[in-house]
Structure 1
Amino acid sequence: MMRWLAGLLAALGLAFAAPATAYWEYGHGVVARIALDNVRPETRAEIRRLMAQDELLQTPTCRIASIEDAAYWPDCIKRLGDRYAYAFSWHYQNVNICEPFDLSGPCKDGNCVAAQIERNARLLADRELPTRARVEALAFLLHFVGDLHQPMHAGDKGDLGGNRVDAHYGHIKGTNLHAIWDGYLAERAISTPPGGAEGLLSGYHAEEIAAMAGGNVVDWSREMWAVARDHAYPSLLDRDPCAGDVEEAATLSEEDVDRLIPVARESVVKGGLRLARLLDEAIVEGKAPPFRRF
């Protein structure tokens, strides 16, 4: 009901509808759905076979009944505390937008989202592994590609991905830059007609879709880092975001949101198409990025 209401409000042009489920569910689910709709039939069949064995994960409070559930699973298991605490830093990479792009520090020892995308693609591609390991790798891969394509997971100013940047989203007071991109803006962008996985893709030609699926995890990291630098932070400022910290909570206006919706929508589409390519390569071709030190 809440998701339907959010879509209706967007369709009517009402500003600043609150997020129904926010990026950590809705955004991840749409990225994964775009991927599932665009993989090869044999890839889709293997994904469903793996998801059907989610009981092997032994996480009864975080079950996988759909591709959306699988994409949300790595966030769901955070509530299990110490059991998966080692994975907390895998969801993001705080690359400073005010310095030259460099993953070597944020990705030291593989503890960043880019490294974990490649690692889990390798695990998924390895059919010699126990099924449980591949089910877990599938869920992590679905989720982490979505995380990377939320720009505040890819670039920041030493402020925990914008969590320390106080902001207002229209009449919604007391939020922050990260929450805006994770929830309020994501919900508005994805649900704006034509919304959902099919609607988001409808605005692109086949040649554009093929081009957006290209590149590697470093290319995607740099691209999303640039979105944080060129769009996310400047949306709250009337100056260079690296000229100093925001002293007071700024307000994202309706005009700002209108400018950012296409940026956010394109990021979701790119995430879904790139995820589809990784899934096809890992599952059908047994191919994945080689190990690297960033």
Structure 2
Amino acid sequence: MLRLSQILPIVAVLGLAQPAQAWWDAGHMQIAYVAYKHLDAPVKDKVDALLRLNPDYTKWSAGAPDDRTAKLWAFVHAATWADDIKNADYHYTRDSVDSATAGQNIGYADHNQHAYWHFKDTNFSPDGTPLPTPDPVDIVTQLKLMIAALPASSGASDDVRSYDLVWMLHLVGDAHQPLHASTRYTRQIPNGDSGGNLEMVIPATGETIALHAYWDAMFGGYDSPFGAVFDADDKGGISHLTVNDTSAQIVDPQSWIDESAQLAQQYGFAAPVSTGDNAVLLTREYETNVRNIARSQAALAAARLAKLINDALK
């Protein structure tokens, strides 16, 4: 079993014990911002040209004081689009993983929400509860398609490449959220906990919240690009974390999920989290571990996202 100090791929960390702000909109935007800072200048221009094909580009860049900032804000805000399309005003279809179109990659003609693209359940049971067969389409299958299609040499249309880039900005972050990578089956929850969505916890703030949502909320709630930039660059923000270069070079989505699943099983479902659905009070040790893991994983996601885009669009 790995110790937390061994799995955090971070050195020269400033203020790990301080409260983190992060994977809802704020977290995805912060990851995108840090990745953007590490894109090569010519790559930033190619990225912006692709993002302009998304119908939300004007909204993403609204209010920016100049063109350079508009490009940055558009990139940062684009990281939330894969969640935004779940809103009713987008009129995207809530489809299922067993639909005929589940694994397609056709660009903006696809008006399905594809909620199952956001995770891969590495199923496990601490008590021998039977496990189901994994889904055939998930975050790994789709990221592999998108990564392959992004280079201009892939032969994919710019429409598809734009669509894939916007999804990648979001999914790379999701792949590094441990509870997007593992579902636990117990005697009390024999059909699985849906990545921690069926366990309830009570953090130090006193509210009762689903375990999954507790992890998702580590960087705070909804945010603007300006706010995400400020928070990431603030003292203790993820911009100040230095990622181990060897870890940053890993660009295989399955490896990311394997890492996240190990974190989920070792720390996400650790005591005092119950094996049932009863709400439990979290300990200081548990909450400290979650904050540290969240920050480390976000910084790692940003480094890997930057590498993927630089390699594809150089």
Shorter-chain TM band: 0.7 to 0.9
Q: Which residue is 2:209 aligned to?
A: 175
CA distance in structure 2 between the aligned counterparts of 1:258 and 1:94, rounded to whole angstroms = 25
Partner SS state of residue 114, structure 2 = helix
Question: Residues 124 and 64 of structure 1: is their aligned pair in 2 closer, same or farther, counting only changes over 3 Å?
Answer: farther
Unaligned 5+ residue runs, structure 1? 1-10, 285-294
The alignment status of 1:137 with 2:164, answered yes or no, reads yes
2:187 counterpart residue number? none
- Residues 256-288 of structure 1: per-residue CA shift (max 9 Å, x gap): 32232211100101111111111112212xxxx
Q: 1:94 Cα deviation (Å)?
A: 1.3
Distance 2:284 2:145 in 1: 40
Alignment of structure 1 residues 1-294 onto 2, 5 Å: 23-55=23-55, 63-65=59-61, 66-79=74-87, 80-82=91-93, 84-85=111-112, 87-98=114-125, 105-108=133-136, 111-126=137-152, 128-157=155-184, 158-183=192-217, 185-187=218-220, 196=232, 199-204=237-242, 208-215=243-250, 216-237=252-273, 245-246=275-276, 248-284=278-314
**Higher mean C-alpha deviation, range 145-154 or range 78-87:** 78-87
Name the SS of the counterpart of 2:201 in structure 1: strand
- For 2:246, the aligned partner's letter is A
CA RMSD of superposed structures (Å): 3.1
Structure ranking higher in helix proportion: 1
Unaligned runs of 5+ in 2: 1-14, 62-73, 94-109, 127-131, 185-191, 222-226
Task: Indicate the residue corresponding to 1:6 in structure 2.
Answer: none
Q: 1:246 to 1:275 in 2, by over 3 A?
A: same
What do the CA deviations read for 1:88-107 (whole angstroms, capped 9, x no partner)?
210111111438xxxx9535
Task: For residue 14 of structure 1, report the CA deviation from its aligned partner.
Answer: 9.5
C-alpha deviation, 1:31, in angstroms? 1.3
What SS class does the counterpart of residue 136 from structure 1 fall into? helix
Question: What is the rounded CA distance, in whole Å, between the counterparts of 1:140 and 1:181 in structure 2?
Answer: 21
Q: Contact (CA 8 Å) 1:124, 1:138: kept in 2 or not?
A: yes
Task: Check 1:90–1:247 CA distance in 2 against 1; reply closer, same or farther (3 A cut).
Answer: closer
The 3-state SS of whatever aligns with 1:211 is: helix
CA contact (8 A) 2:31 2:299 kept: yes
Q: Cα deviation per residue 1:135-160 (whole Å; 9 max; x = unaligned)? A: 11110011110111111101121211
Looking at structure 1, the residues matched to 171 and 120 of structure 2 have their Cα atoms a distance apart, in angstroms, of 11
State the SS of the aligned residue for 1:54: coil
Q: 1:203 to 1:74 in 2, by over 3 A?
A: closer
Provide runs of 4+ in structure 1 moved above 6 Å: none
Query: Which amino acid in the other structure matches residue 70 of structure 1?
Result: A
Q: Is the 8 A contact 2:23 2:173 kept in 1?
A: no
What's the % identity of the aligned pairs?
23
